[in-house]
Structure 1
């Protein structure tokens, strides 16, 4: 929760604001946004994920719990693709004070999805707020997370069908900024790299799950016709993750999430 509070504080979400959160997932950031906008504000939270996606609680279970809580009346959840949601809004709809993309870009099915989404949001807001993993590790304990993200992105790129993992399209802060500013409507207003809070477990989940499935994934790649050279490269990447974990006190339990990149883009006047 402290991590989300830090994000909202950096973005400067003010009371009375109308916020569109894209890729809200189970609502971790949605609750903090709802608190920030106050009684006179509102958060529209959109996610295309299946209602039964997620563990230990699904999107549907988490969102229902939030809706029934003290901040529920400030939030409207929508199970829809973001661009479809935006295209369905009447032109008379009041524009959003902020559009938020909080740790959702790496879930996108392809890099082009970000460009399409930025183009769709430009006419609906003057402030785009972004938070994503930075691919930067200020501490040795975060190196396995960076390596794992790149490994999973490489594996995803070899898929013929769309995957369902937490990491599907890895874009660096520089790439995200380039895509966003290519709209010629939004320009970077402020950015910051921060060491992740110790309570964030994303790295542990991704690293442990990836290493646990090493042999199964490599076997499937070999049976799927991946070349010997590519297979060797993938195996070496797994070994690099394992080696990075091996030099950390506590092994997998000592792995820490990589640094976070926070940014705010404003409309060009």
Structure 2
């Protein structure tokens, strides 16, 4: 019998590096909510025991651990991320990944610090059963990366490989999640006007429809898709909306570092910033009462 998500989340939490209050043996509700979310994704994708998985944009391993648990001791996960080893806080990518590598799941996982394209071009191993992009597309520096990446996957050895994607849906189930949707769109707009590449969490926003079209254009057929609600403990909306509002109140506001904008562009950006603040004001509890937007999940086959 499958474990309840909450029970499995508590089990998998031991593989994550985490600061806990002195004397506490329990993981934070935020971490458990993130793990439960990844368990839900992996369950939807039906990752089978013994499988070989390529995870693109693994970050600190939020989904990697759930994937490694699903493939079991006879499976393997290659987790690829181009982020600098010292990126991230309160723990860096290197610290988080090393903690996982040194855990009981370590033998099932190989972390690779390189670009996905470089990894794919040099790969000569066995075919993958699943290729996973879990909440990684928004980190891409520009929209052309996704179609180029999907096209490059055709060079990998394959027999019945599935492409598994999860990304924010841009769908607001209630007023409490609407600030997250508006913030994602505004952050992506600001990134598109930057002349210097940033390291923000939201750089390229693509809708589920745009992602699906890119996948299908590259030869991937849709098997199934769904939109799921996120758990109350997930803090992504709080972090991202909070940071945007801080930028809005900082020196230069949302227009800081953006040169050469026309009056119309400046007006739209400032109006969208006002809309985010107004949306937060309509949530019971303000920032702390916000919910993350829904998540879209898709599974494709070549």
- Match for residue 168 of structure 2 among 133, 141, 144: 133
- Match for residue 220 of structure 2 among 186, 209, 214: 186
Shift of 1:139: 1.6
- Match for residue 102 of structure 2 among 48, 65, 68: 68
Cα distance in 2, alignment partners of residues 219 and 237 from structure 1: 12
Cα distance in 2, alignment partners of residues 106 and 214 from structure 1: 21
Matches within 5 A, 1:109-120: 109-120=141-152
Cα offsets for 1:51-99 (capped at 9, x unmatched): 1111111110100000011101110000000010011112xx2110000
Shift of 1:219: 4.9
Matches within 5 A, 1:18-57: 18-57=52-91
> Any conservation in 1 of the 2:191–2:203 contact (CA below 8 Å)?
yes
> Any conservation in 2 of the 1:203–1:257 contact (CA below 8 Å)?
yes
Secondary structure at 1:162 match in 2: coil
Shift of 1:160: 1.3
> Any conservation in 1 of the 2:121–2:155 contact (CA below 8 Å)?
no
2:36 is equivalent to residue 2 of structure 1: yes
Give the gaps of 5 or more residues in structure 1.
none
In structure 2, the partner of 1:103 is 135
Cα offsets for 1:206-229 (capped at 9, x unmatched): 00010011043335257x232233
Cα offsets for 1:155-184 (capped at 9, x unmatched): 00101121210000100000000000001x
Number of residues of Structure 1 aligned to a counterpart in Structure 2: 263
> Any conservation in 2 of the 1:221–1:231 contact (CA below 8 Å)?
no
2:297 is equivalent to residue 262 of structure 1: yes
Cα distance in 2, alignment partners of residues 136 and 44 from structure 1: 31
Secondary structure at 1:110 match in 2: coil
Secondary structure at 1:213 match in 2: helix
Query: Given the two structures, how large is their TM-score scaled by the length of structure 1?
Result: 0.95
Cα distance in 1, alignment partners of residues 165 and 200 from structure 2: 21
Cα distance in 2, alignment partners of residues 95 and 123 from structure 1: 11
In structure 1, the partner of 2:3 is none
> Any conservation in 1 of the 2:55–2:64 contact (CA below 8 Å)?
yes
In structure 2, the partner of 1:177 is 212
2:46 is equivalent to residue 17 of structure 1: no
Cα distance in 2, alignment partners of residues 241 and 177 from structure 1: 28
- Match for residue 256 of structure 2 among 220, 226, 229: 220
In structure 1, the partner of 2:177 is 142
Cα distance in 1, alignment partners of residues 282 and 122 from structure 2: 51
Cα distance in 1, alignment partners of residues 137 and 255 from structure 2: 29
Secondary structure at 2:197 match in 1: coil
Secondary structure at 2:202 match in 1: coil
In structure 1, the partner of 2:269 is 234
Query: Given the two structures, how large is their TM-score scaled by the length of structure 2?
Result: 0.85
2:113 is equivalent to residue 79 of structure 1: yes
Give the gaps of 5 or more residues in structure 2.
1-34
Q: Over aligned residue pairs, what C-alpha RMSD do you find? A: 1.2
In structure 1, the partner of 2:187 is 152
Shift of 1:231: 1.5
